[in-house]
Structure 1
Amino acid sequence: FGNSSGFVYISTTHSVSFRVSFYSDQYAITFNEHGLPSGASWNLLLTEQSGNIISLPATSGLLNVPLPNGTYRYSAASASGYLANPALSSFVVNGTSSILTSHNITFVPNALAVTFVEKGLPSGTQWSVTLNGIPKQTDLGSISFFLPGGTYIYHLSSTGTYSPVTSIGVVSVANSNKTVSIQFNSIVSTVSFVASSLPVNTTWSVYVDGQTLVTHNQSMTISLPNGTYQYQVVEQGYYYPGNPYGIFTVSGHSNDITTNFVYIKYLATFHESGLP
């Protein structure tokens, strides 16, 4: 219900009535089952945000579940010979608008599951797989396909600043389900520029990738995606960099570039002539 407490001030001898409205803090979420024979039993497994798992049996094609606001994951299971698609998915309950969306679960007979499990991505990162020409994406840790036995080609794409170690591959399924592990690595690495032989607290700068880095510390760091870059170290007063220009390559690991500054100061001698 709405406000759970309040005050009422009455300054009249007449009767006064107030309307109090109550509403449910749970919302009916609909799951539609497809593909099972009529009357076949199946189970919906709901995982709450706390990690608690709820098992809900059903024998019809429609299941309504009252749930409070929150984030949930779900999977489904049935008799042998049928696999649920999607194998794992998630949804958010957020007020009355949540009841307008139904979740479809299709059971596929005589199919084998090919499940891709990612490693290396930050939690909640979107990633995708295309298997046998069928694209799927998720922000969860796995993606499943349901296909008859055979040999299939799969493709993976880079996502944000992460790239799969292998972007294309082949998977074969025969008599059992198959799991394929996918490793993602960051394609952004740190490059540190280190100054040598500069006095303490001397300001110095480097121009790289269209940016000018300035510091009074001994080193400064920039993050860059994989590629080849040019840089220029700028002279500072009487201190000149021994290697003012250079090229470096970022390829998935950190780089340190050290510049040795040389103190250059020349003695100028003046000779006078013409005076007594």
Structure 2
Amino acid sequence: YPVTFSQTGLPSGTFWDVLLGSGISTSRPLVFGEGAEGSSFELTAPNGAYFWFVETAFTSNYTVTPPYGNITVASGPVNVAIVFTPITPSTTHYSVTFTETGLPSGSTWSVILNSTQGTGSGGSSIGFSEPNGTYYYNDISTSASGYAATPSSGSVTVNGKAVTVSIVFQ
């Protein structure tokens, strides 16, 4: 069935894409990915529940609303509207800090926020600078064998002040 993603706010010719995963969890593998330079594009998906997010590597000068979501394909078409808002140079940025506990000394860890990877060593924090908006984070990993992150993905909302996300490795 058709799943149509449409956007407003990007200039003509700007590439953008969406990743669509099976199930409603970011831990499930992604099964579809599509990009476009227009106002919309269409994927085909069988009946089921899906998690999607806008991959922003090509649109890093924009905030995305909504940046991710869940859809259910039930024997018919699904439409998702996405709005890109330009980040102006005068836009204030705020600290988004990821802290970790539980990793052994000497190990490294990383997290991806808004398609940008940050890395740190055990006991250290990873910092980003973002304007107001909601951002998706995922792919939290470590060099320490046998350790998993909780949470392993999620979203963080910046609203006029710095934000800290605590990650526990076990």
Pair 1:32 & 2:6 matched: yes
- Tell me: CA distance 1:94–1:37, structure 2 relative to 1, closer, same or farther (3 Å): same
CA contact (8 A) 2:67 2:135 kept: no
Distance (Å, rounded) in 2 between the aligned partners of 1:109 and 1:83: 7
Amino acid at match of 1:68: P
- 2:72 corresponding residue in structure 1: 92
Aligned length: 102
| Partner SS state of residue 161, structure 2 | strand
Q: Which residue among 168, 172, 190 is the counterpart of 2:161? A: 172
Between 1 and 2, higher relative CO (CA 8 Å, sep ≥ 6) is seen in 2
Does the 8 Å contact 1:39/1:60 carry over to 2? Answer: yes
2:49 maps to 1:48: no
TM, length-normalised to structure 1: 0.32
Which amino acid is the alignment partner of residue 10 of structure 2? L
Q: 1:39 to 1:115 in 2, by over 3 A?
A: closer
- CA displacement at 1:115 relative to structure 2: 4.0
Contact 1:71-1:91 within 8 A present in 2 as well: yes
- CA gap of 1:40–1:95, structure 2 versus 1, over 3 A, is same
Q: What is the CA–CA distance in structure 2 between the aligned matches of 1:116 and 1:64, rounded to whole Å?
A: 24
State the shift of 1:57 in Å.
1.4
Larger radius of gyration between Structure 1 and Structure 2: 1
Q: Is the aligned partner of 1:103 residue 2:77?
A: no
* 1:145-195: CA deviation from partner (whole Å, max 9, x where unpaired): 6xxxxxx5xxxxxxxxxxxxxxxxxx515xxxx5567xxxxxxxxxxxxxx
Match of 1:57 in 2: 35
Give the counterpart letter for 1:75 in structure 2.
Answer: F
Query: 1:114, CA displacement in angstroms?
Result: 4.0
**Letter of the structure 1 residue corresponding to residue 17 of structure 2:** N
Structure 2 CA distance, aligned partners of 1:29 and 1:116?
23
TM (normalized to structure 2)? Answer: 0.51
Match of 1:186 in 2: none
- Spell out, residue by residue over 1:75-106, the C-alpha distance to the aligned partner (whole angstroms, 9 max, x if none): 1123221122112211100112xx1x411111
d(CA) in 2 for partners of 1:172, 1:86: 20
Partner of residue 52, structure 2: 74
Could you say which structure has the higher strand fraction? Answer: 2
- The CA distance in 2 between the partners of 1:115 and 1:93, in whole Å, is 25
Gaps of 5+ in 2: 92-130, 137-152
> Counterparts in 2 of 1:103-122, with a 5 A limit?
103-110=80-87, 112-115=131-134
Where do 1:154-169 residues align within 5 Å?
Answer: none
RMSD: 2.9
Q: Percent of aligned pairs with the same residue?
A: 29
The CA distance in 2 between the partners of 1:59 and 1:92, in whole Å, is: 25
